[in-house]
Amino acid sequence: MPDVAKAVYATGRRKHAVARVWLQPGSGKIAINSRTLEDYFGRETSRMVFRQALELTETSGRFDVFVNVSGGGLSGQADAIRHGMSRVLIKIDPLFRGPLSIFGRPELREGSPRGFHIRTNCRMFTGARAKTVLFQRHG
């Protein structure tokens, strides 16, 4: 368990999964429900999701991670843990907010094809298109 005096805490949520995440300065030890990362998450994709926030902020070996997670499936739990770790890292250093928020929103990432489509879909049926016979009410 984490040392309460040194640890920073945040809660992450995804679907029905809730993760309570503590980070404290250390050597990179990971405990999820008192089990190792490899024991808890059998799939490599779930382990990758777990590590994303730490690798993005380049803090992988600097903190010990303690997690209590419950509810939902393993994929939702991995995303809830990532959300909780992002919130903890922002509490530790507010400058992490920029990279973490861009990482979580694909439309803001550089080179992402989704940004343009999201903007155009919002305006799809406005202006001259909305005035055509197809979109007018009859009756």
Share of the chain above pLDDT 70, in %: 73
pLDDT at 98 over 90: no
Rounded alpha-carbon distances, angstroms, from residue 30 to 26, 46, 51, 126, 137: 10, 14, 10, 51, 60
**19 falls within a domain:** yes
Q: Identify which has the larger pLDDT, 11 or 112.
A: 11
Domain membership of residue 43 (yes or no) is yes
* Domain harbouring 36, CATH code: 3.30.230.10
pLDDT of residue 99: 85
Kindly report the length of the chain: 139
- Does the pLDDT at position 9 exceed 90? yes
pLDDT bin (cut points 50, 70, 90) of residue 78 is very high
For residue 117, being part of any structural domain is answered with no
More confident residue, 6 or 128: 6
What's the confidence (pLDDT) of residue 6? 86
Sign of CA dihedral 103, 105, 111, 112: positive
Return the higher-pLDDT residue of 108 and 75.
75
Predicted confidence (pLDDT) per residue in 22-42, tens digit: 999 999 999 999 999 999 999
- Give a yes or no: residue 83 inside a domain: yes
In a domain, 110, yes or no: no
Residue 100 has pLDDT above 70, yes or no: yes
The 10s digit of each residue's pLDDT in 102-118 is 776 665 666 655 555 55
Q: How many domains would you assign to the chain?
A: 1
pLDDT of residue 107: 58
Q: Is residue 89 part of a domain?
A: yes
136 part of a folded domain: no
pLDDT of residue 23: 94
Instruction: Round to whole Å and give the CA distance between 25 and 46.
Output: 24
Domain membership of residue 91 as a residue range = 8-104
119 located within any domain: no
Q: Say how far apart CA 74 and CA 47 lie, in whole Å.
A: 10
